[in-house]
Amino acid sequence: MMDHDNDINNYASIIVIGVGGAGNNAVNRMIDSGLRGVRFVAVNTDKQALMRCNAETKIQIGEKLTKGLGAGSKPEIGRKSAEESQEEIKKVIEGADLLFVTCGMGGGTGTGAAPVIAGLARAMGVLTIGVVSKPFGFEGKKRMLNADQGIAQLKTCVDTLVVVPNDKLLTVVSKATSMLDAFRIADDVLRQGIAGISDLIAVPSLINLDFADVRTVMESRGLAHMGIGVGHGEERLTQAAKLAVESPLLETSINGARAVLINITGGADMSIIDINEAVKHITAASDPDANIIFGAGIDESLEDEVRITVIATGFDKAPETADAKTEDAVAAPAEDKPAPAEEPSPEQAEILKQLRGETKPADEEPKIPTFVRAASRPPVMDSYQPMRDERDSYQRDVRPDYTRESSDYDRGDYRPAPQPRYNDNAPIFRDTDGDSGYRREPDNRRSNYNPDVPAFLRKAQNRK
């Protein structure tokens, strides 16, 4: 067995790095299950927890920063610890072809250190795959928030990321399951994810899949759906295919995947018809033009059992080529449907209508020059105009008041003062309304004024 493992490692060096408490536990379960062709590395800030891991290589990160006491559920401490020990991490990664980074998100060491380790490996040209778990809901909102932020950071540092939400376990376990067993099941899901991929490379098969096939499907692919299905009985292949495609433990699905890797392992009695039906069920949910890579192997120990591993990637929309655009335009010219525009405000709508010529302002008439419209407009009515006319008429007819201030004349409120009455050149005014003196008009008849002559005589003289 050791010779076989050494031969495999000569072709593809696979390293699994478990980061933090959950990552170390997942590594222990992989070692206990006899996972072949893989080198295990444990990374932690907690020295005591690191010593309990069975990995052949152990790295205590942030020894100066944490003194071996852990990150205290602070991702920032985990990140700084990994940066402090990055040279030691690089030495361990050097020469690897495929690196798995596994951890439980939400704590301090795994959440903070995993993106740093993955970034170092990818910068060295290593195909890097992240397999992480999200915390249970009962672990608190703070831990879930840390997990979401850590997953977002890790996604930018790996080629492919597989996320296993622990809350999904609650849908498949019984009420009698203890908390300790639930965490063990969560660790085992991480083990299954890594084993499902590493076995494709490390274990020879009837239709073999090599490291190049895995790189084709998983390099720079982002989020991935990784399903593992196990079936028993006559319908075992169909049963396993359904479980692999519709895994109850994952948030993702195979729908729309543009790259799918399928590996089927079973006993020697697997029929070609059953294999064909299982593959049809898997590919039916993927993209019609998806790149399908198929592998199959025989395991004599699986008498009435079959295992199917499905890795689906390429869910992000691929860039459309020029040829594809031309073919689509010739084959099926679709009607242009503009994207719905944002609803304009009432003021903007009114302006748009005026620009389009749909409506015009009320004071404008089409095809009439401005100067013509201005000349034809009726005069503006002024409610104070009649009062001004009466005032002007009164000021013209009555004798002006010479006691007014000169500033009143300067403002134009009154007409300039006429000649004094006793001037020989001034007209003589007479009453037309009796003695009221309200309205007077000039008398053009001339007479010499004599103050000693009684008024009735003056009137008699004027009547002559």
**Buried b / exposed e along 244-262 (16+ C-beta atoms within 10 A):** bbebebbebebeebbbbbb
Please tell me the distance from the alpha carbon of residue 129 to that of residue 101, in angstroms, as a whole number: 6
Residue 341 labeled ligand binder: no
Residue 233 labeled ligand binder: no
Residue 431, helix vs strand vs coil: strand
Residue 114 labeled ligand binder: no
The two beta strands, 305-313 and 225-232, are: antiparallel
Residue 110 labeled ligand binder: yes
Residue 187 labeled ligand binder: yes
How far apart, in Å, are the Cα atoms of 234 and each of 150, 267, 305, 376?
43, 13, 10, 98
Find the Cα–Cα–Cα–Cα dihedral 232, 236, 239, 245, rounded to 10°: 110
Please tell me the distance from the alpha carbon of residue 133 to that of residue 103, in angstroms, as a whole number: 7
Please tell me the distance from the alpha carbon of residue 157 to that of residue 366, in angstroms, as a whole number: 65
Please tell me the distance from the alpha carbon of residue 425 to that of residue 360, in angstroms, as a whole number: 63
Residue 227 labeled ligand binder: no
How far apart, in Å, are the Cα atoms of 331 and each of 201, 289, 312, 319, 336?
42, 17, 29, 20, 15
The two beta strands, 160-165 and 291-298, are: unpaired
* Nearest of 135, 118, 122, 218 to residue 170 by alpha carbon: 135
Residue 25 labeled ligand binder: yes
DSSP state of 304: S
Residue 20 labeled ligand binder: no
Please tell me the distance from the alpha carbon of residue 123 to that of residue 107, in angstroms, as a whole number: 25
Residue 143 labeled ligand binder: yes
Rg value, the chain, Cα: 49
* Nearest of 89, 215, 226 to residue 159 by alpha carbon: 215
19 token code pair: 């980061």
**Buried b / exposed e along 85-108 (16+ C-beta atoms within 10 A):** beeebeebbeebbbbbbbbbbbbb
Q: From the annotation, which residues make up the binding site for GTP?
A: 21-25, 108-110, 139, 143, 187
Q: From the annotation, which residues make up the binding site?
A: 21-25, 108-110, 139, 143, 187
